Amino acid sequence: MPEIRLHDTRSGQLKPLVAREPGNRVGIYACGPTVYNRIHVGNARPFVVFSWLKRFLAHEGYDVTFVANVTDVNDKIYDAARAAGVGSEELAVEMTEHYRADTEALGLGRPDHEPLASETIDGIVALIQALLDRDAAYAVEGDVYFRVRSDDAYGTLSHRHLDDLDQGEGVEGIALKEDPLDFALWKAQKEGEDTAWDTPWGRGRPGWHIECSAMAEDLLGVGFEIHGGGSDLVFPHHENEAAQTRLGRGEELAQIWMHNGMLEMRGEKMSKSLGNISLLPEVLDEWGRETLLLFFASGHYHQPIVFAPDTLRDAQGRLKRIREAGRRLVDGPSPAALREHRDAFFTALADDFNTAGALAALAAWVSDANKLEDVGRDDLVEMLDIFGLAELAAPDAGDGPPPEALELLAARESARAGKDWAEADRLRDELAASGWIVRDGANGAELVPA
């Protein structure tokens, strides 16, 4: 089994992946969305990166458990539900369903577990109680706060000094805190908050950071191998997660903290607060899942990547070259002359999961394969499968979509023309369920086999 090294945010170094349990069993926990709105394409990057990482590790012989949570209890959900005139639980359920449908359309499968914060309250309460018992937290008027200065290692993940920190909680609870640096583990129920739970210190709901610590521990234990998420979560979210578990359990939550860079719109990160977002289903409708996945693969996960028409057209060009090569291939093993490119592909992934390097090796394989006759497709299928794109190596199949699928496509185009996005999404999903993916291009929409 080759050594796999990943960039660890805390140490700033590449660390070898070391399974803590027999049988090469490893755990990955990636922070998922807060479900107060539809996810944008930037939110999809961690889902894609860590889904791919699981596929790669499984290919290398690891027994991987991949957990990606859903934060369905949060201030943003209360605020959005209030503005929409619906209950917070109703909104969270609706947006969770959208999130799962939108990411399902990426064709990468589901994480092994997708825990909800609302279903982990017992574990959250137990971890808070452990922190209270160790004097690392204190309760006041129904709130519970973490004593940041009780943790000597606080700041080592984000590489920040205590005096430079701001928890981002504004003035909320400031009069109750012993120290402005302290952050909320539990929040007393406030007027207008319609979801709450009873605890020994009062009725309320959990803070954001404690939710992930408890969900990760519940499914992976403490000391699991890889904790992932976007680089925007390093502080305060992941710093606080690490501190809570360190003081509550006496050991580190994870061995490696792995962070993906943001999507940028020509120099600005994509975010709902900036208003420069492209919703994932809209991007999939316009460009297709294959183009989007190849776009994600074109940049190193650790770095920002520019989301723009020209970078997506570059990915579209790669897609075309791979698909054209796939049509020329025959069933069976690939020739030894191409093995160096296949090996370079997996070597790049073992070296800090360098998908850009892997994609370059794949392109070299395709280029050299085009110079040969009767090339077997096994290598290309093996490489593309890591990205969830193995079907690109297959020859064209069938005689095209049946009349009923074409009728659904026409109805979807009518819905899009009338800006009935919900109906367009429904028709897209119905087509996907029947085995056809909608591909929007310069010449209009077409159907390709799923």
Q: What is the pTM of this model?
A: 0.87
3-class DSSP state for residue 7?
strand
Per-residue pLDDT at 397: 43
3-class DSSP state for residue 285?
helix
Q: pLDDT tens digits, residue range 426-444?
A: 998 888 888 788 877 655 7
Q: pLDDT tens digits, residue range 126-164?
A: 999 999 999 999 999 999 999 999 999 999 999 998 877
Q: pLDDT tens digits, residue range 100-134?
A: 999 999 999 999 999 999 999 999 999 999 999 99
* Cα–Cα distance for residue pair 363/164, rounded to 1 Å: 46
Question: What is the rounded (10 degree) CA torsion for 116, 42, 278, 306?
Answer: 180
Token pair for residue 250?
Answer: 């006496």
Per-residue pLDDT at 402: 81
* Cα–Cα distance for residue pair 106/212, rounded to 1 Å: 24
* Cα–Cα distance for residue pair 216/230, rounded to 1 Å: 16
* β-bridge mates for residue 376, sequence order: 330
Helix, strand, coil in percent for the chain, rounding step 5: 45, 20, 35
The neighbour count for residue 57, using CB atoms within 10 Å, is 23
Q: pLDDT tens digits, residue range 153-199?
A: 999 999 998 877 777 766 567 889 999 999 999 999 999 899 999 99
What's the chain's average pLDDT?
93
- pLDDT-derived band at 269 (thresholds 50, 70, 90) equals low
Q: pLDDT tens digits, residue range 340-394?
A: 999 999 999 999 999 999 999 999 999 999 999 999 999 999 999 999 999 999 8
Short-list 437, 373, 369, CA closest to 401: 437
Q: What is the DSSP letter of 189?
A: -
